[in-house]
Every structure is written in C-alpha cells, then in structure tokens.
A and B are shown apart, each in its own frame.
Chain A
Amino acid sequence: MTNHWIDIKNSDCILIMGSNAAENHPISFKYVIEAQQNGTTLISVDPRFTRTSSKADLYTALRSGSDIAFLGGMIRYILDNNLYDKDYVALYTNGSFIVDQSFDFKNGLFSGYDANAHKYDKSKWAFEKDKYGVPKMDRSLKNPRCVFQLLKKHYSRYSTKLVSTITGTSEKDLLTVYKTYAATGKTGKAGTIMYAMGWTQHTVGTQNIRTMAIIQLLLGNMGVAGGGVNALRGESNVQGSTDHCLLWHIWPGYLKTPRASDTSLTVYNDKYTPKSNDPQSANWWQNYPKYSVSLLKSFFGENANQGNEFGYSWLPKADDGKVYSWLDLFDEMYNGGIKGFFAWGQNPACSGTNANKTRAALKNLDWMVNTNIFDNETGSFWRGPGMDPATVKTEVFFLPACVSVEKEGSITNSGRWMQWRYQGPKPLGNSLSDGDIILMLGEKLKELYTKDPGVFADPILNLKWDYVTGGVYDPHKVAKEINGYFLQDVTIKGKTYAKGTLVPSFAFLQSDGSTSSANWLYCNSYTEKGNLSARRGQEDAVNKIGLYPQFAWCWPVNRRIIYNRASVDAKGNPWNPDRWVIKWTGEKWVGDVPDGGWPPLETADGFKNPKTKHAFIMRKHGHAQIFGPGLNDGPFPEHYEPLECPVEKNFMNAQRINPTAPVYGGKADEWATCDPRYPYVGTTYRVVEHWQTGVMTRHQAWLLEMQPQMFVEMSVELGQLKGIKNGERVKVTSPRGEVVATAIVTKRFRPFKVGGGVVHQVGMPWHFGWEFPKSGKEESANLLTPSTGDPNTRIPETKAFMVNVVKI
C-alpha cells in the first residue's frame, strides 16, 4: 500500500474493485465502516455481488477480465469533463513530459513490437530530452506530444457504449460510478482504491493497477490522506516476503537479481543505477550501490571485501533472457529438468495454476522436502487421485513446522508496517520454526561442503551464518542484520559512528564495504534505539489522521503515507488543511515523515526554490508516471481479452490478447478460447472462512463446519438453462481438468450482455484439496486454471478463463 489500513477511514470515496475486502480482509472493514459512518461513499465493482457489495452504497458488476475497459472509460470521463486536478497533474506527474516521435499506438500494438519474440523494444517509448538529458516538459499540458495529450488520445476510444459492450456493465452504472469517484478530483477530496488478486491475476494484471494509478494521479489522490493505491496483500506476511525478495528476479530491498552478462559488480551496479541530470530530481535509486554492497556484506561478512567485489561472483546469476518464475519452474519440472524441490510453507499441488500439470511435474522429482504444519496435497502428491505410488520414485521428506504464534519474529502487513510478535505457546511435539530449520540446513550444508567442496563451495563456505544465541536460532540477530551495522568506525557529516553499532537509517549506508544491511528498506527498524517494530505506542501524530507513528515501525524510515510531498501545493501548504499529512513551517516539515526533507518547490514568495526536489523521489525523473515506459506490455494500459475469453475478438483493438503474455504450449497446457465446449467465464476467489489452499483451515473443524465443500456459484438464469438446482453436485470442466462442486444458484451472479450476446460467468473458491476432508471429493479449483500470466510479474491468470458446467 502507498497508504495504510487505518488511513482508509480518511477517504471520501472508497472504490473496492478487484477485491472482496469484507471477506478477505475482514478487519479492514472496521475502517471502511468507520468512513461510511462519516459520510464516505463505498463503491463495489465485482463480477459477483459479494459480502463487500452487501455493504456498498453503489454496486455494479463487470465481466472478469475487462477491468482496463472499465477504468479506461473512467479516464476518458475524467478528461472529457475536466474533473482532473490540473495543478497536481502539472506539478507532480509526467503528464507534462514530451514523448519522442518514435512512440505510437496502432492496431492494438505500441511501437517497437517484435512479433517473433513477442516483445517490445522499449527504447521506442522514450521522452524527448533537452541538452542535459532531462525530459522536455510543457507544464501547460497543451503540447500535442505531451503525455497528457497522448493520454487523452489513447482513451478517446473508451466510450461508455464500447466499454459497456466489453464489460457487460450498463452505461448508466458506468456513468454513476465514474461520476461518484471522479468527484474526488476536487482539491481537498480524497478517493482510495482497495484492490487485490481480482486485479493482479490476469495477463493484464500489472496494467490493471497502472490504469488505477493513472486515475489516482489525474485526481490528485496520491500522497494524500484517504488516497493512494492500496494493494490488499493476500497473506499476512507476503508484504514481508516480497520486501525480502523471495521471488527470483529481485534481491532484498527490490534490488535486481544479476544476469549472466552482468559479469562484475561494477557492471551490475552501473546497469541498475539510474542516472538523472536534473538537479531537482532526487533520483533516490542513485544510491543503489550503497544498498547492493551493504547487502553483500550482510551475506558474506568479513569474507567480502573490495578485492573480491564483496563476493558478487559467489551469487547465482540468471541466464540472459530466461525467466524463472513459478510458471517456468513447474514447466521445467514437468519437462524433467528439476530433480529436487523444497516445497516450503506452500501447497503447489492446489495453489498453482493448472494443478494437474503441477501434480504430474512433482512425479519427476528425485526428492522433495515439504515443510508444513499439516500433511497436504503436495507432500502427499504420490498418493493423490490418479497416482499409483508404486510408480512414483520421488522421496519426500516432511519437516513439521510450527505455526506463526508459536514463534518470535516479525511480519510486515499490507501497509508496510513491520510488527514484532513474541512467542505464544511453545511448538508442539518436534515441530520447529522456519528459522530453526533454515539455520540447521545452512549449518549442515557448510559441514558437507567443508568436507567435500566439489566444483564451487565458495558461496556456502563464505556465507555469514551466525544467527544463533545459546545454540538456538535468534530472530533478533536476523532483524539486526537486516537493519545493518557499521563494520568499522565511520564518520558522516562530522559525527563518528562506532564499529559494531547499528546503522540509524539507509541514508547512512555506504558503498565501500564499511556498512552492512540485509535490506536497505528496513534500515531504521532495529537501531541503537531498540527494536522499533516492537513498539506499541498509542499516541497519534500531531495531524491526528491515524498515523500512530510509535505503533510498530514501517518502511521507509517510518513514513506512513508515501509520496506525501504531493499532498501539498508548491509552497508546502496542504491541499486539504483539515486532513493534512505534512506541512511546511517555513523551516521544516511537520506531520508524517516527509518524503525527503528538502523544502517545497517554491518559496513563500512564489520563486522556484533551488534547494527543492521533485516529489516522487523513487522515479528517475522525480515525477509520477502517467506514461510508464518501463513495463513489458506498454506505457499506457490497453484492454486485451484474457487468453481464454468468451468473445471472438477484442472490441477495443485488433489484438485479441496481450501481445507479450507468456503462453505455454506443452501437452499439459491446453487452452481454448471462444469454444462451445467451454462457454462460460470462470473465475476463482476466496471466502472469509477459509484461507489459501485450505491446508490450515480445512483441518479446523469450526471453519470447515461453515464452508464444508467446494462450490460453484452461478446465476439463476444459468441454473435454469442447465437445469441445475441449488445445492446439487455438478461438474465444472476446462481444457485442463475437472472439479466436482456443489452448485450455489444465486441472484448474486447475473448474465452479462457482452458484444451483443449473453455471457454467463461462474465462480469458485480455491480453498479445497483431496487430502482433507477424508472423502477426498472436494478438490482444488486450480485443476481448471490456465498456463498463462502477466508478462511483468508472471502471476498466473487464475481470475478469467473458460469453463463448462454440467449436471452429473
């Protein structure tokens, strides 16, 4: 989230789309309800009327996979009716940037498309630069090649009539939603978006979010209280896991995983350190080498030095052009290329898209280590439906893990708040915490590699691995390492910081090896002042907007609302004095931690302040991106249909699907679009009573009591069409598999009028698996979902695909 949970109550209009917050983030609804009681309007847009919709002031439906059409229509509405915040757009966004003539959009493709490689040459989307290499700008937003005018042109096609044809939403409803939400463009009004997997799990997932980011920038909703782009994370600590970068393509702190062609640390740092010649751009990522070197020092300690590039050569590099995401990993495993697998705190046999392919892939393993709380469909894949254990050669080791409340450590929530938790009960039996297990694994690897170094033992032998106190794993040692230390006496701005002391914040990290930090974003969380994430201070900040700066700790440097220097005008006065985030006293900022301490853009007399910096400090050019040239599928979001869709063509442009989406063509990757065998749009979602694949919740009797069986929800109309009665068991099929489920025939789904025809949609929860309940009859919805995903994140497209529903 750019903002945080409590801040939701500050909003004037809350849009919940791509999310069912009442069910999947039930506690967050405390703040939504509080806002409503203060007059806030809640809008719910969802293919299905959910428990969130039941509390909304406005509800409407859209067909799964048509969100960019819906939101693109809102962009057009905002621009046509001049509802955007002109000052904000001119001051803080790249709306004024002039785009090079090489940028174009035609026939559904942006310029620079390579049809063979299915990739874009992003250099075609560059800005016109002045002689200093700084983008040319027209802050009056009138130049026909400025981003703002190109935006207008791009979304001029998104008329409500066409949007309605694509989404199945009535024009009346579209206009009601647009009008209500766009009212937050007024200075002093704030609108927020709460979104989740309903937006991300598509071949256009990243662009879904981009569309909303554009809307929020047009309306001046970024950096203000009650605004922001707020991702509701799907797991209580997935924010922590992404911050510490468990994904293949990033190093902790969102640094990049090096490629094979990044042959030295110098080459690597140079490649990923953005350069800006604009003296007004803070270009914060210019500090990249300080963070990468400090990270290496945390990994390898004393073994890392200038002479060996701080151990850079000991870290694995990704092959150029190759992708190692979930989709690719299981594809490789399916094709026999992976022999060993740690399935750690996850259940791929049920959670991964195209679960039949995953389950077949597991058979190819020589060994698997399954660390989990309960037995599950992954560790026990070899005795699952359709498996003959006699033919499965995989050796599975099950390591029993304890649950979260049985261990001490931290989690980081959606709002970036790192919260320390003490250990509650002791782990049961011989179950252990993940920290214990990983520590022992590392120690054993070091022992084995010492005895028999093999080809390349350096990375393991040189690994710093001292996270032990009294012979036991110590999470405090890890937390301190994450914060980072001064490894020698370091003098900064006349003050000397002693060797062995904790670094106060990432502003003090160095690129010469004198500091360590296992995650620069978390530098400031555990300092000489103590474990700031363990604080529970109850006092709000001076601006009384629910920041609670002494409750836990958030990154970066406890800044609760990021981009907050956009919450003020050029002189540093809040756009909304009644709900202000920061304000300039004439000498300094007060309120939230400012997004950099530099003075406002203008002095009190209205002159440009030479000491200022642009507000969006993490972007090279210091401005928020309406035009986003860094993504794989284009600088402006465009509506494309899902891989499997109910229409023959895309009504918006000549390309049916995202031209850069990864599509797998193996025999387990069957897909079919606009195919009479699979006539209904299928989607997957969650319920409040279960969680993820249900490994924890299916074993909890009080939860299983409430949601005992796999179900499929469908409209009354579809039920009638197929002769399916409410409560009847039916079969849902897709080109990849089939699932038996209980039919819930309900008014909460309605047929969609799409492209002049009727499109039915059904939906299922993905919380079930054959292992439990013991009947083995409640299976995973992912047996149906497709082998494709977003070209930027590779997140699978499990929210929109095609199915059939038949009576059994």
Chain B
Amino acid sequence: MSKSFLVDTTLCTACRGCQVACKQWHDLPAEETVNRGSYQNPEDLSFDTYKLVRMNEEVIGGQLRWLYFPDQCRHCLEPPCEATAGEPSAIFKDPATGAVIYTAVTKELGNIDEVIESCPYNIPRKAGDGTLAKCDMCLDRVQNGLQPACVKTCPTGAMNFGERDDILTLAKNRLAVVKKKHPQATLLDPDDIRVVFLVAYEPQMYYEFAVAANGTFDMTRQVALRRMLKPFTGLISRLL
C-alpha cells in the first residue's frame, strides 16, 4: 500500500483551498503577513505553513500565463533528509504509505541545517528551537481511510492521491492529454518521489526548486554508508 500524489497544475485555479485545508486539519496558526505586491501569501513555506500555492506571471510564446505551483514535501522514495539526519526517531518513512515523517526529536539532531540543505526541493523548515516541520501526507487521515486534506478540498481535480501505481498511470495519461495543447509538458521526477507535479511549461518558470538537480537521487558514498550501517545509524551519525 504505497501512496502517491499527482498534482496537475494545468487544472489548478489557485483557489488555495488546499493551503487552508492543510492549516485547518493540522490546526496551524496563521502567519502575520503583508501584501508584497502578490497574491502569494505567506511568502514561503514555514514551520507553520506546510502547503503553499506559488504564483508566477510569465510571458510564454507571446502569451501571458499565470503559473500555479501548489508546493509541498515530495515524500521522496529515498529522502536525502532522512539519510542526512540518520536518526529514525527524528525522521522516518512510514513503511505502509511511504510518507516521510518528522517528529519533535528533530530538534535534537546535531545537523539540522544540513538536513534542510540536503532537500533538493527546499522543503524542511525549522522552529526557533530547531524542530523541523513539513507536510506529513495527512498520515492520520490516510491511516483512517481518508484522503489528505488538500486532496479532499480541491474542487478541480488538480490534487490527486492514491496507490502509487494508479497515480503513475493517471499521471502518464494526463501528460499525454496535456501534451496535445502544451508540447513542453512534463512530469517532475516521477521515479524518485511520491508527489508528482505535471507542468505545462518549463519547471523553472513555476519555482526554482520545482525539480531536483541532476544527480540528486544518485547513490552518494554517504548514503551508501548509511544504508550499509542502518542498524547502527544512531551511533554512526555521532561519529561521522
């Protein structure tokens, strides 16, 4: 029962129901914001904001486009943050769904900033005391047979969630349809992550960290070492 999301940005109207539903379900506080000359608010993900619709105006092929990117943690198959932290009581993957979960123990990690830096999508955010937070795939909802709050709320079908195989099939089908109107459409890192974005134009136009840099998910020596020493990870992270 491994789960995945498809986020079809071509269907997103930036209604931000997903952004609010996430706050509501997790009872997260609202941030104090100002209008910076944009509808996008808060400005960035934070310890209190796990889901953020990024909005960018771009002229593409002579036409104005307003690109929406409902950003969230990608729940990587092999999360660099998990590998960097090397402490399952702080960061672990739920075996059933693949959800990548941060706990309060994250504040005790010796390398919090390294963990944040390791994320190719610029997701983890920390509180004053170093505790890390991000999207948790609404694991409590999913374990009770419900969809994540953002998926449940979405009115247009931009947010989709389900068994990974079904979602990847949906993604490929949607890509084929979208490509008829937008030949440059792509799926972003579908083989490496559980939250697959479908975009109509170049990923960089949506957000700097929309795709992982090349080689991010390749095997590094550090990662290989950690995997080899998994049972002793707690000990090793203090030595390395």
Contacts and interface: CB of A to CB of B under 8 A. Distances in A.
A616 to B, nearest CB: 34
Contact of B29 (A687, A701, A746): A701
Interface in A700-742: 701-709, 711, 725-728, 742
Contact of A702 (B14, B24, B66): B24
Nearest to A26: B15
Given A707-B35, A727-B37, A744-B35, A701 B13 contact: no
A746 B38 CA distance: 9
A254 interface: no
B20 A703 contact: yes
A743 B37 contact: yes
Contacts of A30: 155-157
A22 B19 CA distance: 16
Interface string A48-60: 0101111100010
Given A29-B155, A54-B65, A54-B68, A707 B41 contact: yes
A741 to B, nearest CB: 9
A33 B30 contact: no
Nearest to A53: B66
B33 A705 contact: yes
A745 interface: yes
- Secondary structure at the B interface, as helix, strand, loop or mixed, is loop
Contacts of B202: none
B15 A22 contact: yes
B59 interface: yes
Contacts of A55: 11, 13
Interface residues of A, number: 39
Nearest to B174: A37
A744 B38 contact: yes
Of the four ranges (under 10, 10 to 19, 20 to 34, 35 or more), the interface on chain B belongs to 20 to 34
A352 to B, nearest CB: 25
B135 to A, nearest CB: 16
B57 A711 contact: no
B39 interface: yes
B37 A748 contact: no
A742 B14 CA distance: 21
A745 B42 CA distance: 19
A54 B56 CA distance: 11
B18 to A, nearest CB: 11
A711 B13 contact: no
B177 interface: yes
A54 B13 contact: yes
A746 B20 CA distance: 25
B15 A33 contact: no
Contacts of B31: 705
Interface string B159-200: 000000000000000000100000000000000000000000
Contacts of B13: 22-23, 26, 29, 51-52, 54-55
Interface in A17-60: 22-23, 26-27, 29-30, 33, 37, 49, 51-55, 59
Most buried by B among A725, A728, A747: A747
Given A33-B157, A37-B177, A711 B41 contact: no
Contact of B41 (A23, A708, A748): A708
A688 interface: yes
Contacts of A37: 177
Contacts, number: 97
Interface string B25-68: 00001111111111101100000000000000101000011101
A183 B15 CA distance: 31
Given A51-B14, A688-B15, A704 B30 contact: yes
Contacts of A743: 37
Contacts of A27: 155
B23 interface: yes
A37 to B, nearest CB: 7
B93 interface: no
Most buried by B among A30, A37, A689, A705: A705
B17 interface: yes
Contacts of B226: none
B57 A747 contact: yes
A748 B63 CA distance: 11
Most buried by B among A30, A687, A703: A30
A705 B15 contact: no
Contacts of A52: 13
A745 B157 CA distance: 31
Contacts of A26: 13, 15, 17, 155
Given A22-B15, A702-B23, A727 B29 contact: no
B177 A708 contact: no
Contact of A689 (B16, B29, B32, B156): B16
B80 to A, nearest CB: 30
Nearest to B19: A706
Most buried by B among A27, A701, A706, A742: A706
B66 A707 contact: no
B35 A705 contact: no
A631 B155 CA distance: 39
A745 B36 CA distance: 11
Contacts of B17: 26
Contact of B37 (A29, A689, A707, A726): A726
A400 B35 CA distance: 32
A707 B41 CA distance: 7
A341 to B, nearest CB: 34
Nearest to B38: A744
A278 B14 CA distance: 53
Given A687-B39, A689-B16, A748 B30 contact: no
Nearest to B23: A702
A59 B62 CA distance: 13
A709 B33 CA distance: 9
18 contacts: A23-B13, A26-B17, A30-B156, A33-B11, A49-B66, A51-B14, A51-B15, A55-B11, A703-B20, A705-B42, A706-B19, A708-B32, A726-B38, A727-B37, A743-B37, A744-B38, A747-B57, A748-B66
Given A29-B156, A705-B33, 20 more contacts: A26-B13, A54-B13, A54-B14, A54-B65, A55-B13, A689-B16, A702-B20, A705-B31, A705-B41, A706-B33, A706-B39, A707-B41, A708-B32, A708-B33, A708-B41, A725-B37, A742-B37, A744-B37, A745-B37, A748-B66
Listed from nearest, the 7 A-B pairs whose CB atoms lie closest are A727-B37, A726-B37, A701-B30, A705-B30, A54-B66, A22-B13, A709-B35
Interface of A: 22-23, 26-27, 29-30, 33, 37, 49, 51-55, 59, 687-689, 701-709, 711, 725-728, 742-748
